[in-house]
Amino acid sequence: MNVAIIGTGYVGLPTGVGLAEIGHQVTCIDREVSKIDALQAGKVTLYEAGLDELLHKNFEQGRITFTTSIKQGVEQADIVLIAVGTPPHPVTHEADLQYVYGACVEIAHHLQGYTIIATKSTVPVGTGDVIEKLINKTNPQADFDVVSLPEFLREGYAVHDFFHPARIVIGTNSSRAQSCIKKLYSYFDGKAPLYFVSRRSGETIKYASNSFLAIKIHYINEVADFCEKIGADVLEVAGGMGLDPRIGQSFLNPGPGYGGSCFPKDTMAMLYMAQQNSVDLSLVDAAVKGNQHRMQNIALRLKNFVERLNQSESKIAVLGLAFKDGTDDCRESPAITILSHLLPMLNGLNTKVSAYDAKAIDNARTILGAKINYADSIEECLQNADGLVVLTEWPEFKHLDLAVVKNLMRGTFILDCRNVFDIKSAQQLGFDYHGIGRSIPHTDKSV
């Protein structure tokens, strides 16, 4: 089939490459000339494991092309996927749909023959109805269906997730659109369920799923706090909980709070929609507030550590800036948020902050600028540090030899917000080690 995808970001590009790989003819469209120039020159514009190779392969075999022209992509298309950004409004946190609607008006002018317009971007419930009206108004002759096709790819694992979806949700009541989408995803016959629902249910599934996962993370983070106080180990607790298939093992990793371009935005947008409809989503609300509070607390713990040092100058080493491992993305990264809280708290304390991340330095620099130092290597970051905080769970951090870390650092304080280090080794080496939800084994004084 001929597929046009508008938007070549973390959703659009991996989806386009995946669809090309399963045999479709794909045109990726982006209005940013520099992005399209780079892609045409074979340069992948974002870091995503396995994307580079697959993109080159499909580009060379002529199954994927890149253009800034909506006309060029849409005229040929059986299906147009909208994968443009829906950034949150700075005050209300309502999803900003100007890019979605702008794209739809342009699409409407160039539709030829029956076409499906599907939203891959996360859009508020009811957006499909608005798009339908907008296209009808712009081009009353157009023959089309608007479908909700929510995306469940995780950044960093997008290529893997494209080929191994847990489900493909299709929101439409049109049988014509349903058979078209079945054809688009025929590669997944017998591999993943196609789940057909109404358009509004499709739109809701996306918000309800992301909010549920955010609540799950917030819950295990609170359980971690509980474990720290009560003398239990959250990794053992989460492992034991997860063995119950009703709970499941995934998304029970405690950490510095959830981040990224999706959970923070989608939870807030869902709360906004609930408020508009006089519904109380108290669990989502608690997760949002608790998550924000958590990052402030971590910053405070670091500031308290620096104050306790009581030195004329000090250094904090930060390992990890991306919002999670496997990506260069720093949008709503807990690491960046924590540093943004911490830096003003360190005023007057003569503390240098040095950070290392193999993939995310460039993106972090655009947000934090010259407020911190960016180390070229882990060794440089750790050299003479009084304290170390781990904020992203990159595998290379997990594999660090703690004896080497000890030799490089001046101090012994570690705040391991991703539990990457072995608690026993850290303690044996004399580190003042603090994991998340990890406590020194509890001795029952009554025994």
CB of 237 to ligand UGA, least distance (A): 13
Residue numbers 305-324 binding ligand UGA by CB under 6 A? 323-324
Count the residues of the shown chain that bind ligand UGA, applying the rule CB under 6 A. 20
- The mark string for 263-302 relative to ligand UGA (x by CB under 6 A, - otherwise) is x---------------------------------------
For 362-412, the DSSP string reads: HHHHHHHGGGSEE-SSHHHHHTT-SEEEE-S--HHHHT--HHHHHHH-SS-
Choosing from 7, 85, 260, 320, the residue that interacts with ligand UGA (CB under 6 A) is: 260
Instruction: Record the tokens describing residue 182, joined without a space.
Output: 């079945």
Interface with ligand UGA, residue 152, by CB under 6 A: yes
Choosing from 7, 18, 202, 255, the residue that interacts with ligand UGA (CB under 6 A) is: 255
CB of 353 to ligand UGA, least distance (A): 20
Residue numbers 120-139 binding ligand UGA by CB under 6 A? 122
Interface with ligand UGA, residue 195, by CB under 6 A: no
CB of 263 to ligand UGA, least distance (A): 5
User: Per CB under 6 A, which region of 79-87, 210-218, 287-295, 339-347 contacts ligand UGA?
Assistant: 210-218
Which of 104, 262, 330, 417 does the annotation list as catalytic?
262
CB of 170 to ligand UGA, least distance (A): 16
Interface with ligand UGA, residue 259, by CB under 6 A: yes
CB of 260 to ligand UGA, least distance (A): 4
CB of 102 to ligand UGA, least distance (A): 21
Q: What's the N-to-C CA distance of the chain in angstroms?
A: 71
145-156 per-residue burial string, b: 16 or more CB within 10 A, e: under 16:
bbbbbbbebebb
**CB-CB contact of 54 with 159 (8 Å):** yes
Burial of residue 304 (CB within 10 Å: 0-12, 13-18, 19+) is exposed
Residue 224 or 306 with smaller CB distance to ligand UGA: 224
3-state helix, strand, coil in the chain (%, to 5): 45, 15, 40
Coil, strand or helix: which one is 82? strand
Interface with ligand UGA, residue 210, by CB under 6 A: yes
Interface with ligand UGA, residue 397, by CB under 6 A: no
Choosing from 252, 287, 319, 372, the residue that interacts with ligand UGA (CB under 6 A) is: 252
Residue numbers 155-174 binding ligand UGA by CB under 6 A? 155
Q: How far is CA 291 from the centre of its chain?
A: 15
CB of 350 to ligand UGA, least distance (A): 31
Residue numbers 232-251 binding ligand UGA by CB under 6 A? 251
CB atoms within 10 A of CB 175: 10
For 112-180, the DSSP string reads: -SSEEEEE-S---TTHHHHHHHHHHHH-TT--EEEEE----PPTTSHHHHHHS-S-EEEE---HHHHHH
Choosing from 253, 267, 291, 314, the residue that interacts with ligand UGA (CB under 6 A) is: 253
Residue 403: partners with Cβ closer than 8 Å, 6 or more residues away: 429
**Catalytic residue status for 262:** yes
**CB-CB contact of 316 with 389 (8 Å):** yes
* CA dist list (Å): 371 to 306, 342, 353, 355, 387: 17, 11, 8, 11, 18
Q: For binding to ligand UGA (CB under 6 A), which residues are involved?
A: 122, 151-155, 210, 213, 217, 251-253, 255, 258-260, 262-263, 323-324
Please identify every residue annotated as catalytic.
Answer: 262
